[in-house]
């Protein structure tokens, strides 16, 4: 029941909108089935399946809007939910920034649904965990991991002629391996659309290897280092930059994208000329929903930064109207162009540097410069003359992704990483003068 | 800690700040009026609970508990002169947990008919049986004596849900206006109201009806200097509390007048908005800190978070044992350190206790989510690590016989597990005020309010910012400073604690959305302390220029 077809979804949406007595109405029907398995200390701790289906209805009277939801779809229930939304709309205060509902949108076709993920069984989940635990036992390390697989659909429609349907699958796996003596820790992840392409054993072997090799870490002096940040390490810093980028806050003077004297920095070269960040829902590596969550505006390929120049910032329809600019919807994925080198190749070409597996507990220190602090975790190594020389203690960093993207030495091949329900293609980056400000004893 | 926000599990509130905020809230939008409906009565809940207990027992469960929960939220979100969003949600259902074949099983349902709930009970037993294959050793549950039919309620004076929305909106508009008149360019202010109506029953013979209330009124005030292209913010000094709407009364007796006005059991949000605007503006002219070692005088509005991160989290037993290794992390406070009885976590002035009973705190309940009566216990005594936080299936690992009563689930549909109780620093015994403390410092910084915070996965190395920083020279405050963050190591930091003000300065701070577990669950927790001094802590300058 959770995953409805395009025609089943459309039928329900058409019906509920017919009940509308409001000036305008919109509806979104979405369903998901999510399975998970969690294990720690080489033993499964919890597993479960959650099914969810929900119809969200919005009714509009002028600048008033009301939202109601329901999870049953009889005629009576559909009429009731629309009446409820209308009642809530009438009670709500005017929203001076309310924008009229969008008319028909042209949504790009996206293939994001994989049969293998759709048909995953509890036994397959158990086997995925067992493969990981087996990899741990082979290296005499202890595994803690989490696999979550999701099948979803979403359909949107409104009284102005808009309709869209999108179905997707995804599976995200993360694993931490620790040596029994507590001196070594390794981590790896896998994020896919098609579960058949996921190999939790192989991913776990990387984490186990890192755990074993990270034992007896030596302490290096904090300071500025050339670093090779693996894709997951990069994504932690990039995520903050992307979520902080917004035309309105920039125009209001309270963003790292604000311009001295007023306005924003679109058109300025703020980054190394190789930096190319964009979104594209049809990218076969990270297929994603072809409309924005906020107002169902159609998404297409858009450059955020190209040749190091800021090309676009997300801009709400209200702010676009107010500033006489084009609205720019928030994206559903993120892609950073890279090169074709493997991380091993980047290491081979590095005279002295630090390899960072993963960044952790990142927080904004100063939104003005986008200075972030956080730590390295689960596999930090010293590189000398093209080889990993020895494991080193974790560092705390204080660095801005804006500075990081100005100090690029080289870029690896982009890999898919999960960014919390959002997938991205991110390369490993070799960056000079990355600021480590203190040492951590954490393993 | 809450590092990875899973967008799918969160209610998206668009239009707030830069890119909207994601609130970890479940539930269905409803009218405000529906939030004050009575809901199902205790007698009907008991009847349903008995269906669960009987069904599960017949299906082979050796232990069963059921939580029938109604979770209500109301959020009023504003900026400057307008309301951005008003959200009312309700979620009602039951979570059933059983032990069968020595293994936990869990199932949840929102079908609260006798048939629906019995089906879920049988599912929970089936899940337990299936999971038993992977279980290494059977669950050992610390005994709890049934308490029969009892009830508990957060001691509120004014139910926030009964205050009309229009009154709340008018109030926030007055707050925003106070900031704008005082020179702010922007203000975002919000009211978060939570009511958990939880009915717990277990095969131990307990039927516990609880009504839990929480409230939080955060704000951020921004002052822009267009000429230099810079902006400064100051967050409000309210604390999330386990209180009713009376918290916003801003009683004079609850105010602490010093470098700014700080608040104890009630909050004057309008006054704080005005001060925030003035102080955000003043930050533009403040001196940038010279990095180095300083003695830190930390106000409770700041120190609460340091306690949370550096003491609260590392003493969660499941982290210590490795169950959170893949997400939140593990802990430096390992069992061998505790067993030695000599691990010097802090100086001998440091006494830190856990408490699920403190009035006004976020963690206060009568009974936890597995029916254990709540209590207070010591974690650090005269600087020595003496205990952890553990629940019924964990305390045997500490050779203890009684659960600490700190089990919690954030929804009827989530599995309950060990969550942080209120963890607080005991005040000093000798009469000593923050003024006295500042007078005794030669070279220091007085820090008020929580800023950015980050700590490693074993809780050694941390870095904290704040909202307001004042430089102290030879016992006097000489001016406001900026770009301050301190870095330390947990054990070093707490051993550098050289003085703690007396109980007249003791205040509770808290955090509303603390994340843990996979899938992630949130919880709300308070931390009490008086102003405390930490000697020779490393302070860095956080100013950077981007081209």
The whole-number pLDDT of residue A294 equals 84
Per-residue pLDDT tens over the stretch B21-51: 445 555 666 777 777 788 899 999 999 999 9
Identify whether the C-beta of residue B427 lies closer than 8 Å to the C-beta of residue B506. Answer: yes
Q: Write out chain A residues lying below 8 Å of B538, CB-based.
A: 438
Residue A407 belongs to some domain of the structure? no
**Dihedral angle computed from the Cα positions of residues B506, B512, B518 and B519, in that order, rounded to the nearest 10 degrees:** 160
- In A162-253 the beta strands, taken as DSSP E runs, fall at 163-179, 185-192, 223-229
Nearest to A70 by CA among A82, A86, A61, A87: A82
Partnered with residue B447 across adjacent β-strands are B298, B469
Average model confidence (pLDDT) across chain B: 92
- B8, B453, B486: best to mutate for the A interface, most A CBs within 10 A: B8
Tell me the CATH number at A125. Answer: 3.30.2290.10
Which CATH architecture is the domain B7-169+187-219 placed in? 2-Layer Sandwich (3.30)
Binary contact (B546, A256; C-beta < 8 A):
yes
- B322, B397, B459, B492: best to mutate for the A interface, most A CBs within 10 A: B322
Binary contact (B543, A369; C-beta < 8 A):
yes
CA–CA distances in Å: residue A104 to residues A100, A163, B69: 13, 7, 41
The whole-number pLDDT of residue B28 equals 67
For B86, name the nearest residue in chain A, comparing CA atoms only: A92
Of A88, A146, A262, the CB nearest to B518: A146
The whole-number pLDDT of residue B23 equals 54
Q: How many CB pairs under 8 A join A and B?
A: 214
Query: ipTM score of the complex?
Result: 0.92
The whole-number pLDDT of residue A178 equals 97
- A38, A292, A440, A443: best to mutate for the B interface, most B CBs within 10 A: A440
The whole-number pLDDT of residue B10 equals 39
Residue A372 belongs to some domain of the structure? no
Nearest to B215 by CA among B142, B153, B161: B161
Domain boundaries, chain B: 7-169+187-219, 287-541
Residue A48 belongs to some domain of the structure? yes
Nearest to B203 by CA among B15, B52, B417, B404: B52
Identify whether the C-beta of residue A433 lies closer than 8 Å to the C-beta of residue A406. Answer: no
Binary contact (B327, A398; C-beta < 8 A):
no
Residue A283 belongs to some domain of the structure? no
Chain B touched by A240 (CB under 8 Å): no
- In B167-299 the beta strands, taken as DSSP E runs, fall at 186-202, 206-216, 219-225, 230-235, 255-257, 261-263, 287-288, 292-298
Residue B134 has pLDDT above 90, yes or no: no
Partnered with residue B256 across adjacent β-strands are B262
The whole-number pLDDT of residue A161 equals 97
Binary contact (A36, B29; C-beta < 8 A):
no
Residue A152 belongs to some domain of the structure? yes
The whole-number pLDDT of residue A91 equals 83
Per-residue pLDDT tens over the stretch A184-240: 999 999 999 999 999 999 999 999 999 999 999 999 999 999 999 999 999 999 998
Q: Which of residues 137-196 of A touch B (CB under 8 A)?
A: 142, 144-146, 148, 150, 152, 174-176, 178, 182, 187
The whole-number pLDDT of residue A312 equals 98
Least Cα separation, residue A302 to chain B (angstroms):
18
Per-residue pLDDT tens over the stretch B402-461: 999 999 999 998 999 999 999 999 999 999 999 999 999 999 999 999 999 999 999 999
Residue A325 belongs to some domain of the structure? no
Q: How many domains, in total, are found in chain A?
A: 1
B96 vs B111: CA distance, rounded Å: 13
The whole-number pLDDT of residue A71 equals 80
The whole-number pLDDT of residue B137 equals 85
Identify whether the C-beta of residue A224 lies closer than 8 Å to the C-beta of residue A435. Answer: yes
CA A131 to chain CA centroid, Å, is 26
Say how many CA atoms lie within 13 Å of A62 toward its Cβ.
Answer: 7
Per-residue pLDDT tens over the stretch B284-307: 999 999 999 999 999 999 999 999
Percent of chain B with pLDDT over 90: 84
Q: Write out chain B residues lying below 8 Å of A254, CB-based.
A: 185-186, 222, 224, 231, 233
Q: Which residues of chain A have pLDDT under 70?
A: 1
Chain B touched by A403 (CB under 8 Å): yes
Annotate A230-263 with b (16+ C-beta within 10 A) or e (fewer).
bbbbbbbbbbbbbbbbbbbbbbbbbbbbbbeeee
Structural domain of residue A56, as residue ranges? 6-211
Least Cα separation, residue A269 to chain B (angstroms):
9
Q: What are phi and psi of B338, to 5 degrees?
A: -70, -45
Binary contact (A441, B460; C-beta < 8 A):
yes
Average pLDDT over residues B184-195: 97
Identify whether the C-beta of residue B109 lies closer than 8 Å to the C-beta of residue B120. Answer: yes
The whole-number pLDDT of residue B16 equals 31
CA–CA distances in Å: residue B319 to residues A49, A175, B313, B516, B520: 25, 16, 8, 10, 14
The whole-number pLDDT of residue A167 equals 97
The whole-number pLDDT of residue B14 equals 35
Binary contact (A40, B325; C-beta < 8 A):
yes
Binary contact (B457, A270; C-beta < 8 A):
no
Per-residue pLDDT tens over the stretch B374-383: 999 999 999 9
A180: exposed, middle or buried (Cβ count in 10 Å: 0-12, 13-18, 19+): exposed
Least Cα separation, residue A194 to chain B (angstroms):
19
Of A38, A366, A375, the CB nearest to B542: A366
The whole-number pLDDT of residue B506 equals 97
Residue A197 belongs to some domain of the structure? yes
Residue A124 belongs to some domain of the structure? yes
B401 vs B396: CA distance, rounded Å: 6
- A1, A46, A94, A177: best to mutate for the B interface, most B CBs within 10 A: A46
For B10, name the nearest residue in chain A, comparing CA atoms only: A421
Average model confidence (pLDDT) across chain A: 95
The whole-number pLDDT of residue B12 equals 41
Average pLDDT over residues B390-402: 97
Q: Write out chain A residues lying below 8 Å of B120, CB-based.
A: none
Least Cα separation, residue A388 to chain B (angstroms):
24
Chain B touched by A98 (CB under 8 Å): no
């Amino acid at each position: 029941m959770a995953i409805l077809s395009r025609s089943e979804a459309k039928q329900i949406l058409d019906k509920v909108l017919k009940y509308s007595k409001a000036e305008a109405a919109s509806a979104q029907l979405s369903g998901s089935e999510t399975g998970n398995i969690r294990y720690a200390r080489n033993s499964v701790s919890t597993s479960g399946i959650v099914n969810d289906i929900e119809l969200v209805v919005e009714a509009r009277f002028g600048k008033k809007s009301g939202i109601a939801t329901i999870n049953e779809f009889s005629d009576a229930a559909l009429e009731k939910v629309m009446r409820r939304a209308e009642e809530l709309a009438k009670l709500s205060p005017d929203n001076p920034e309310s924008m009229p509902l969008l008319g028909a949108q042209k949504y790009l076709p996206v293939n994001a649904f994989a049969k293998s993920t759709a048909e995953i069984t509890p036994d397959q989940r158990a086997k995925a965990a067992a493969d990981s635990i087996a990899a741990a036992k082979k290296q005499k390390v202890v595994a803690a991991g989490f696999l979550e697989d999701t099948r979803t659909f979403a359909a949107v429609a409104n009284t102005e002629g808009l309709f869209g349907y999108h179905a997707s699958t995804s599976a995200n796996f993360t694993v931490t391996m620790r040596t029994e003596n507590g001196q070594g820790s390794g981590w790896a992840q896998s994020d896919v659309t098609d579960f058949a392409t996921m190999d939790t054993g192989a991913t776990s072997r990387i984490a186990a290897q890192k755990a074993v090799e990270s034992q007896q870490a030596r302490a290096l002096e904090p300071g500025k280092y050339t670093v090779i940040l693996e894709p997951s390490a990069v994504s932690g810093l990039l995520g903050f930059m992307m979520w902080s980028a917004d035309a309105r806050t920039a125009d209001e003077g309270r963003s790292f994208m604000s311009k001295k004297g007023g306005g924003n920095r679109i058109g300025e070269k703020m980054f190394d000329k190789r930096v190319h960040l964009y979104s594209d829902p049809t990218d076969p590596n990270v297929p994603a929903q072809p409309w924005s969550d906020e107002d169902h505006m159609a998404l297409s390929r858009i450059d955020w930064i190209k040749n190091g120049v800021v090309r676009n910032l997300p801009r709400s329809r209200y702010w676009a109207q107010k500033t006489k600019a084009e609205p720019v919807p928030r994206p559903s994925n993120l892609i950073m162009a890279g090169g074709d080198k493997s991380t091993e190749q980047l290491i081979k070409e590095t005279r002295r540097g630090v390899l960072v597996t993963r960044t952790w507990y990142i927080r904004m220190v100063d939104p003005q410069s986008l200075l972030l602090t956080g730590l390295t975790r689960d596999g930090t190594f010293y590189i000398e003359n093209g080889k990993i020389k020895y494991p080193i203690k974790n560092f705390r960093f204080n660095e801005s992704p804006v500075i990081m993207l100005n100090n690029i030495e080289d870029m690896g091949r982009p890999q898919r990483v999960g960014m919390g329900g959002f997938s991205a293609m991110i390369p490993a980056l070799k960056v000079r003068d990355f600021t480590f400000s203190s040492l951590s004893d954490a393993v | 800690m809450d590092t990875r926000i899973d967008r799918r599990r969160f209610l998206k509130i668009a239009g707030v700040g830069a890119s909207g905020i994601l609130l970890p809230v479940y539930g269905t939008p409803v009218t405000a009026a529906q939030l004050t409906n009575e809901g199902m009565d205790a007698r009907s809940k008991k009847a349903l609970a008995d269906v669960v207990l009987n069904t599960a027992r017949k299906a082979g469960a050796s232990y069963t508990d059921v939580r029938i929960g109604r979770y209500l939220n109301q959020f009023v979100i504003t900026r400057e002169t307008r309301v951005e969003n008003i959200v009312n949600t309700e979620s009602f259902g039951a979570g059933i947990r059983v032990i069968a074949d020595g293994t936990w099983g869990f199932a949840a349902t929102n079908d609260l008919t006798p048939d629906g709930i019995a089906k879920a009970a049988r599912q929970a037993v089936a899940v337990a049986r299936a999971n038993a294959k992977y279980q290494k050793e059977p669950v050992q549950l610390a005994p709890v004596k049934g308490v029969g039919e009892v009830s508990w309620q957060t001691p509120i004076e004014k139910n926030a849900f009964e205050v009309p929305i229009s009154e709340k909106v008018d109030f926030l508009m007055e707050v925003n206006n106070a900031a704008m008149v005082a020179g702010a360019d922007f203000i975002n202010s919000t009211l978060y109201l939570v009511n958990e109506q939880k009915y717990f029953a277990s095969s131990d013979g307990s039927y516990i009806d609880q009504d839990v209330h929480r409230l939080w009124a955060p704000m951020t005030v921004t002052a822009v200097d267009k000429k230099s292209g810079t902006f400064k913010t100051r967050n409000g000094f309210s604390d999330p509390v386990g209180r009713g709407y009376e918290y916003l009364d801003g009683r004079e007796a609850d105010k602490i007048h010093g470098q700014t006005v700080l608040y104890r059991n009630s909050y004057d949000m309008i006054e704080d908005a005005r001060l925030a605007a003035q102080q955000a503006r003043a930050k533009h002219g403040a001196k940038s800190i010279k990095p180095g070692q300083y003695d830190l005088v930390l106000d409770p509005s700041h120190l609460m978070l340091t306690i949370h991160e550096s003491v609260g989290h590392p003493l969660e037993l499941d982290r210590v044992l490795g169950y959170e290794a893949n997400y939140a992390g593990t802990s430096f406070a390992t069992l061998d350190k505790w067993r030695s009885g000599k691990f010097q976590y802090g100086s001998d002035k440091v006494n830190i206790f856990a408490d699920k009973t403190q009035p006004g705190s976020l963690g206060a309940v009568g009974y936890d989510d597995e029916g254990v009566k709540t209590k207070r216990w010591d974690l650090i005594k005269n600087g020595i690590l003496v205990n952890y936080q553990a629940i019924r299936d964990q305390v045997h690992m500490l050779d203890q016989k009684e659960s600490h009563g700190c089990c919690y689930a954030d929804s009827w549909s989530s599995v309950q597990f060990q969550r942080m109780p209120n963890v607080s620093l005991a005040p000093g015994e000798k009469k000593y005020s923050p003024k006295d403390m500042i007078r005794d410092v030669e070279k220091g910084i007085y820090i008020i309010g929580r800023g950015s915070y980050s700590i490693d996965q074993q809780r050694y190395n941390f870095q904290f910012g704040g909202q307001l920083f004042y430089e102290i020279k030879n016992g006097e405050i000489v001016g406001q400073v900026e770009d301050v963050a301190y870095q330390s190591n947990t054990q070093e930091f707490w051993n550098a604690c050289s003085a703690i003000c007396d109980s007249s300065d003791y205040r509770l701070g808290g955090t509303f959305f603390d994340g843990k577990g996979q899938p992630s669950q949130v919880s709300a927790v308070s931390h009490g302390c008086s102003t405390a001094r930490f000697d020779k802590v490393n302070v860095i300058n956080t100013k950077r220029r981007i081209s």
